[in-house]
Amino acid sequence: MLKGTFTFTLQALLLSLMVSCSTKTQEADTAHDKAAATSSGDIKLMILDPGHFHAALVQKTMYENVDSVVHVYAPAGDDVQGYLSIVESYNTRPENPTAWKQVVYTGEDYLRKMLAEKPGNVVVLAGNNQKKTEYIKTSVDAGLNVLADKPMAIDTESFELLKEAFASAKENDVLLYDIMTERYEITTMLQRELSMLPEVFGTLQKGTPADPAITKESVHHFFKYVSGMPLKRPAWFFDVTQEGEGIVDVTTHLVDLVQWECFPEQVIDYEQDINITGARRWATELTPDKFRQVTKTAAYPAYLTKDMGKDSLLAVYSNGEINYQIKGVNAKVSVIWNYQAPEGAGDTHFSMMKGTKANLVIRQGKEQNYKPQLFIEPARGTDMSAFEKALKANLATIQQKYPGVDVQKSGNAWTVVVPESYHNGHEAHFGQVTEKYLQYLAEGKMPDWEVPNMIAKYYTTTKALEIAKQTGNQASRK
């Protein structure tokens, strides 16, 4: 797959298509050849059941070596129409419009139709998470590469299926990858870089369950704006059996960052390196009016009846916390979903990495005007003069990779000053992830640590959900 350069003549292509119909083995070989064609720049996207706006964000920009014709397979309905509308807004925007040509098939047999036609070699998935793992497994079994939005698994059963999917992807020589946008947020990138400077950070502390060495907290909102327009969420988004609980959804990003920052390019073996010490979950309650506002749906669908309480309040288990040890380091990740952000605010992120010489802290609160800022806070008892000297001496290493980044002293800490050009926004990160995936496709492989670490990540989240359910429900948040 994707190794070397393939040039198909029309005759060879017709021959391969004829042969592909003969046996299942030959059909798999043809799928392999189609995937291999991406090395010559012939990457063709197929969008499968796009129920989440993240599917459209992958197409917010054009990519070199990616065909502008995109084949969409989905059931008819609001989900696919919403996706198509967003992509059309990118095609018609005044500045830097995209040029996607959407070929759309809607019908109940959309999955069978995609597998029968195979007009592309990369499947993009972002939608109903109850179906997603099965979509992934079916696609890689058919010899197709997959770029999937998080989460790729939302419970123990789907985690086991995901492991099978990774094994199938390896057997079929295709690449299965999830969209980890938060790796491309500049303060997170710099937090990682600074943690790899021993003279500044020291070494990562071990911490304790009560005082973890790394903490990541994320606050999200049901009602928000995407590409300047109020986001309409599908009603199923509020059914945790379809979307997944918060502890297995957004926390996917946080667990990924713990692994990516604390153990850069190291393999995480979930059976040996992960030990969950505690987990909890709780609900955010929505009124019928708020539900109607964000979904444009007049009433709760029947599948949400199970989650309704007094005064028709809908309990959505979108909040969760995981305390765990990874390679002996204590970590805590948590996610909170509120209905709507305060004026001028949006989704926020807090992160702390505790080193023996300094803590690296990302804050995004009111004092930071709701924009993420990174702080370097020396450990107690530190010789501040010597620390400042070491910091400035090591800053050159950061500046070589990120020109213009500087530090500014404020009291007993330093603020990392980041040029505005690096703050390109969450939506732009989808393009950056896609570029990385395209690089992996061109190379025909991913780094050795990516697959085991994806498996470790989804083990952590799904096992935590299992533990949290055993612990019992927590108080709701309105």
Question: Per-residue pLDDT for 359 more than 90?
Answer: yes
Give pLDDT, residue 349: 87
Q: CB of 204 within 8 A of CB of 354?
A: yes
Listed in sequence order, the DSSP H helices in 58-155 are: 78-91, 110-117, 129-141
Question: Per-residue pLDDT for 412 more than 70?
Answer: yes
Question: Per-residue pLDDT for 37 more than 60?
Answer: no
Cα 276 to Cα 278: distance, rounded to the nearest angstrom: 6
Mean residue pLDDT across the chain? 90
Q: Name which of 285, 284, 337 is nearest 310 in CA terms.
A: 285
Q: How confident is the model at residue 280 (pLDDT cuts 50, 70, 90)?
A: very high
Please give the residue that has the higher pLDDT: either 459 or 340: 459
Give pLDDT, residue 153: 98
Cα 453 to Cα 457: distance, rounded to the nearest angstrom: 6
Average pLDDT over residues 392-416: 95
Question: Per-residue pLDDT for 191 more than 80?
Answer: yes
Q: CB of 401 within 8 A of CB of 390?
A: no
Question: Per-residue pLDDT for 268 more than 70?
Answer: yes
At 302-315, the pLDDT tens digits run 999 999 998 899 99
Listed in sequence order, the DSSP H helices in 301-414 are: 384-401
Architecture of domain 183-426+434-445+447-471: 2-Layer Sandwich (3.30)
Which token pair is 311? 């005064």
For the chain, give every domain's residue range: 10-178, 183-426+434-445+447-471
Q: How confident is the model at residue 341 (pLDDT cuts 50, 70, 90)?
A: confident
Cα 194 to Cα 395: distance, rounded to the nearest angstrom: 9
Listed in sequence order, the DSSP H helices in 142-197 are: 156-171, 186-195
Q: How confident is the model at residue 42 (pLDDT cuts 50, 70, 90)?
A: confident
Write down the pTM of the prediction: 0.87
Q: Name which of 219, 345, 223 is nearest 296 in CA terms.
A: 223
Which token pair is 374? 């990174």
Q: Name which of 42, 152, 151, 55 is nearest 104 in CA terms.
A: 55
The least confident of 1-5, 161-165, 199-203, 403-407 is: 1-5
Domain 10-178: give its CATH code. 3.40.50.720
Helix axes 156-171 and 129-141, enclosed angle (nearest 10): 20
Average pLDDT over residues 316-333: 98
Give pLDDT, residue 21: 38
Contacts of the segment 442-446: beta carbons below 8 A, 24+ positions apart:
442/2, 442/38, 442/39, 442/65, 443/2, 444/1, 444/2, 444/3, 444/39, 445/175, 446/175, 446/177
Cα–Cα distances in Å, from 187 out to 192, 211, 405, 419?
9, 23, 11, 11
Q: How confident is the model at residue 345 (pLDDT cuts 50, 70, 90)?
A: confident
Question: Per-residue pLDDT for 185 more than 90?
Answer: yes
Give pLDDT, residue 474: 54
Please give the residue that has the higher pLDDT: either 438 or 228: 438
Q: CB of 273 within 8 A of CB of 456?
A: yes
For residue 212, give the amino acid letter.
Answer: P
First-last CA distance in the chain:
50
Residues in contact with 477: Cβ distance below 8 Å, sequence separation at least 6, in sequence order: 282, 283, 284, 285, 319, 336, 338
Give pLDDT, residue 10: 33
Residues in contact with 238: Cβ distance below 8 Å, sequence separation at least 6, in sequence order: 222, 286, 291, 295, 304, 307, 314, 316
Task: Classify the C-alpha dihedral 135-138-142-144 as positive or negative.
Answer: positive
Average pLDDT over residues 164-189: 97
Please give the residue that has the higher pLDDT: either 472 or 262: 262
Please give the residue that has the higher pLDDT: either 6 or 70: 70
Average pLDDT over residues 370-377: 94
Give pLDDT, residue 156: 97
Question: Per-residue pLDDT for 25 more than 60?
Answer: no
For residue 383, give the amino acid letter.
Answer: D
Q: How confident is the model at residue 477 (pLDDT cuts 50, 70, 90)?
A: very low
DSSP 336-357: EEEEEPPTT---EEEEEEEBSS
Q: Name which of 326, 144, 332, 143 is nearest 254 in CA terms.
A: 332
Question: How large a percentage of the chain has pLDDT more than 70?
Answer: 90
Q: How confident is the model at residue 471 (pLDDT cuts 50, 70, 90)?
A: confident
Q: CB of 270 within 8 A of CB of 459?
A: yes
Question: Per-residue pLDDT for 30 more than 50?
Answer: no
Please give the residue that has the higher pLDDT: either 286 or 230: 286
Q: CB of 320 within 8 A of CB of 244?
A: no
